[in-house]
Structure 1
């Protein structure tokens, strides 16, 4: 049986080149011209990256995919009212938006010369009645960003990657694909600009749980998704980590400690 997953590392037929960087396992894959970088790390619910190695690695990988200049639109996807799906909106809350800080005002507050960054939380179809792709298309027509970064919670195909994996992709993202709720894909073809996908798996298919723990299939399990007991902590800390890595990638002239002060929530 195949299990639902958003992770390229878990899809059959995708070969990965693996390496270890500062004690972290990094897998690089390419599928249909799309690059995927997967970083496997200790449980994110523990102390957040005390030595900064994970954050620094994610920042470097993001910088390698981002265009060198031009405004970037960060979209925090998901539903903040549903904890396993709240990673994107929580991450957006910790992003430093700079598009409105310009000229003399920027110099006065010590933020002169920063890259223009705009942030949005488009919500979900069930609460807005509007597809995420439609909302982003409208924003892109107005803002003309050089790229979009879409942050979203993901589904894993194996328990040991739940809350311990970060995936980055230059092929965008398909909201809800891992849980069987496919929405229009967010990619260069649909939005007209490069789209970088960024996420952490917060759920697994219940059939995965049965297979990993009991080595057997259970009727009805494939219709359910399972999330860890400490999902509240996982989502908050994962959002913190991704936002810090992305902030540092977009505007590396500011130290991580400065971002912690500017976006404290």
Structure 2
């Protein structure tokens, strides 16, 4: 069944039996964490899988809703992958928290911005007086959504990029998964850009090197699964139902349903904190994680 998902790992698994060329997959463990890396290197494979050419790293962590505190290993593992995809350029980075803060499953991006260490304005004597020389310049924004502002998220970010000229954009957004088991338990970091709203079938103008003129690293956590996908995941092959029968039974009403965990408030709050610490750690490696946590406390 063609499940709806934003996770490259799930899409690659769905098409693995086809023997696609131009797709490389590897997986390893780092302590309690499982890390999967997918590289899509050919346009034909990208079209078949439904993801642009690029690299996708998925880190499976203990459920955010179960962790009382942000785990050091999780933050360091995420920071390592973010830093690697952002690159060695020490120039300005723009961090954009995508989504609607008033809708809890979509509030991940704006909540991450609450914990960002914005440093673009800390320069010269101010930085020396505060003992923060050598900071990488970082700007952070939560642009809201079209329904709140009347302006496309992509238009807002593109205008900011033209004005402040960052060397890279980091975009954080909530994602959709095909499996309830991955909700709030995986973090995807990719260098192929992102289409805001794609997880809920409301894709807007993409944010990518092609549209912004600078590299775009996306970070996301799956917070929802749509009704038809969930039903298909649970029921395909049961009671003799095939894909067409499932779709006939659950569509169109099922397409309008998005399922999210009941502990979504806790999940979003803790995931946002871990991701903001990981981004700060990746962009400011000279500062200890303890100091970053103190400086960026929302």
Helix, strand or coil at the partner of 2:217: strand
Question: Structure 1 CA distance, aligned partners of 2:118 and 2:166?
Answer: 13
The worse-fitting range, judged by mean Cα deviation, of 8-17 and 31-40 is 8-17
Deviations 1:197-216 (A, max 9, x none): 00100001112332344556
Q: 1:84 aligns with which of 76, 101, 105?
A: 105
Do the aligned residues in 1 keep the contact of 2:70 with 2:270 (CA within 8 Å)? no
Q: Which structure would you say has the larger Rg?
A: 2
Q: Which residue of 2 aligns with 1:108?
A: 129
TM-score of the two chains, using structure 2 as the length reference:
0.85
Q: Which residue of 2 aligns with 1:8?
A: 8
Q: Which residue of 2 aligns with 1:18?
A: 27
Deviations 1:213-244 (A, max 9, x none): 45564522232111100000000000000000
Superposition deviation, residue 18 in structure 1: 1.2
Alignment of 1:1-265 (within 5 A): 1-11=1-11, 12-13=14-15, 16-31=25-40, 32=46, 33-48=53-68, 51-68=71-88, 69-215=90-236, 217=246, 218-219=249-250, 220-265=253-298
Question: Structure 2 CA distance, aligned partners of 1:126 and 1:151?
Answer: 19
Question: Structure 1 CA distance, aligned partners of 2:266 and 2:70?
Answer: 16
Do the aligned residues in 2 keep the contact of 1:76 with 1:91 (CA within 8 Å)? yes
Q: What runs of 5+ residues in structure 1 fail to find an aligned partner? A: none
Do the aligned residues in 1 keep the contact of 2:178 with 2:230 (CA within 8 Å)? no
Superposition deviation, residue 50 in structure 1: 5.6
Q: Which residue of 1 aligns with 2:243?
A: none
Question: Structure 1 CA distance, aligned partners of 2:68 and 2:295?
Answer: 18
Do the aligned residues in 1 keep the contact of 2:97 with 2:108 (CA within 8 Å)? yes
Superposition deviation, residue 3 in structure 1: 2.1
Question: Structure 2 CA distance, aligned partners of 1:46 and 1:116?
Answer: 34
Superposition deviation, residue 22 in structure 1: 1.9
Do the aligned residues in 2 keep the contact of 1:165 with 1:201 (CA within 8 Å)? yes
Helix, strand or coil at the partner of 1:20: strand
Superposition deviation, residue 262 in structure 1: 1.4
